[in-house]
Amino acid sequence: MCQLLGMNANTPTDVMFSFTGFASRAQEHKDGFGIAFFEDAGVRLMVDAQSARTSPVAEMVRRFPIRSSNIVAHIRKATQGRVTLANTHPFVRELWGRYWVFAHNGDLKGYAPRLHGAFRPVGDTDSERAFCWLMQELAKAHASVPPIAELTATLRELAPTVAAHGSFNFLLDNGQALWAHCSTRLHHVVRRHPFTRASLHDDDVTVDFAAHTTPQDRVAVVVTEPLTKDETWTPFAPGELRVYVDGEPLDLR
The residues annotated with a catalytic role in the active site are 2
CA distance linking residue 156 with residue 149, whole number of Å: 11
**Amino acid at the residue 177:** A
Write the DSSP symbol of residue 239: T
The answer to whether 205 and 20 are in contact (CB under 8 A) is yes
Write the DSSP symbol of residue 88: P
Describe the crossing of helices 126-141 and 148-163 by its angle, rounded to 10 degrees: 140
Find all residues with CB under 8 Å of 130, minimum gap 6, and list them.
104, 108, 111, 113, 162, 168, 170
**E strands along 49-194, which residues?**
67-75, 91-95, 98-105, 169-173, 178-181, 187-192
What region does 161 belong to: left with phi over 0, alpha with psi -120 to 50, or beta? alpha
CA distances from 94 to 42, 112, 162, 235 (A): 11, 22, 21, 31
Chain-centroid distance of CA 107 in Å reads 16
CA distance linking residue 174 with residue 213, whole number of Å: 24
